Structure 1
Amino acid sequence: MKIIAVGMNYALHNKELGHTLVNKEPVIFMKPDSAILKDGKPFFIPDFSDEVHYETEVVVRICRLGKNIAPRFANRYYDAVTVGIDFTARDLQRKFREVGNPWELCKAFDNSAAIGTFVPLEQAGGDVQQLDFRMEIDGQEVQHGNTSDMLFKVDEIIAYVSRFMTLKIGDLLFTGTPAGVGPVQIGQHLQGYLGEDKLLDFYIR
């Protein structure tokens, strides 16, 4: 199982981080399976970063083996969705970018991919590009997005990625974060919602 993630996929998030470049293709990065954090287990802030940010995203689960998938058929290759968090060591990311180095280490560390309970896409409304999602910290909303605002749609991303690598059953696609990212602190309670369904619920330690 692999985790495929999309960066800079919401315009307002790009603006808040100062990204002015308009990407003509999806920005793709990977996380290892050791990045998965699930079942409500706590996230422990790593000792190598002083600024870990939450990035709330819709996560799509791949349900079929696929390679070189045409965009018009891409909807056949996923069956369930949830809310997840792409934890990012922002201080490391800035450091790596300044010298032009790859920044996997700030994104792919252990437990950096929190995922909630998956629900069938039909239960979530049926249209992957009309999903409303949000994140609350200690009961206060900090991020709110809708997949209709994606710069690159889910089917486009799947078609694009499958040109380079085979998608397998159980692979996960993190689809990008809207504006409102910020740092996490010990003791905080994070809850992620898809529509009115709470799918993600855990603490920062």
Structure 2
Amino acid sequence: MNIFILNKFGLSLFVKTDLTLCRDNSDFYIPDNFDSIIIEPAIAVKINRAGKYISSQFAQRYYSEIYIALNIVSDNFYSDKITVTEYSLNSTMEQSFYLIDNKNISELSTGFIISMDTENDIVISPSYTDPKNIIDSAIEEISRKISLKSGDIVAVTSEVNQKSQKGSCFKMYIDGLDNNYIKLLDFSIR
């Protein structure tokens, strides 16, 4: 299983291994190589059958639910000066991708907003009013370059992110545009 992450900033694609998937709400430990991290909200799907060159109009056949996710990278990951070593360390950083699969956002037909909160800062994403279209376009773009297999995860990060350092406490919420407010994650960064 691979995790394909499409960044909405510059539409850059990178791949993480399944070792990076965090399966619980445990604390995140920043590796010694990094001073601080960037936390990015994302929407994601689990691919349920193999495919290559998948058109966006048929992409919904390749997944059943859309989830909220969270991607963690070093603060210099999107820098032009990132080295191959730093890129590799980001792609394999343990427990740096959270898939919140207890909340299917396909049922939020009116859209939603993701908010992230550390001690002194709150960041709110732009509203996602059409998450299926975002995911379908990502599946089309990724499957043109790489064959997708059953079990793979495709994620698209938001334009906003939160910089964080050791000792921070992180919380993530989803707010449906019909004002139903749900806490998704709560963990410490050590």
CA distance in structure 2 between the aligned counterparts of 1:87 and 1:201, rounded to whole angstroms = 14
Displacement of 1:170: 2.3
Kindly indicate whether residue 32 of structure 2 is the aligned counterpart of residue 44 of structure 1: no
- Separation in 1, partners of 2:89, 2:130: 25
2:100 is the alignment partner of 1:119:
no
Q: SS of the counterpart of 1:147? A: coil
Moved over 6 A (4+): none
CA contact (8 A) 1:80 1:118 kept: no
Identity of aligned residues (%): 23
- Residue in structure 2 matched with residue 20 of structure 1 by the alignment: none
**1:181 aligned onto 2:162:** yes
Deviation track 1:136-164 (CA, whole Å, cap 9, x = no partner) reads 234963232323599x8321110121122
> Secondary structure at 1:4's aligned position in 2?
strand
Query: Residues of 1 paired with 2:100 and 2:47: CA distance?
Result: 15
Under a length normalisation based on structure 1, what TM-score does the superposition of the two structures give? 0.74
Shift of 1:84: 2.1
Which amino acid in the other structure matches residue 123 of structure 1? E
Instruction: Report the more deviating stretch, 51-60 or 85-94.
Output: 85-94
Moved more, 132-141 or 166-175: 132-141
The number of aligned residues is 184
Further displaced range: 133-142 or 56-65: 133-142
Of residues 166-175 and 111-120 in structure 1, the stretch that sits farther from structure 2 once superposed is: 111-120
| Number of the residue aligned with 2:113 | 132
Name 2:148's counterpart in structure 1. Answer: 167
TM-score (norm 2): 0.79
What's the CA shift for 1:103?
5.5
**Which residue of structure 2 aligns with residue 83 of structure 1?**
68
What is the alpha-carbon distance in structure 2 between the residues aligned to residue 38 and residue 137 of structure 1? 21
DSSP-derived class of the 1:71 partner: coil
Higher mean displacement: 79-88 or 188-197 = 188-197
1:74 counterpart = 2:35: no
Q: Which SS does the other structure have where 1:54 is aligned?
A: strand
Residue ranges of structure 2 left out of the alignment (5+ in a row): none
Counterpart of 2:88 in structure 1 is 105
Query: Within the alignment, does 1:193 sit opposite 2:177 as a pair?
Result: no
Normalized per residue, which structure has more strand?
2
Residues 55-102 of structure 1: CA deviation (Å, up to 9, x unaligned): 1222222223222211211122222233222111124654xx327758
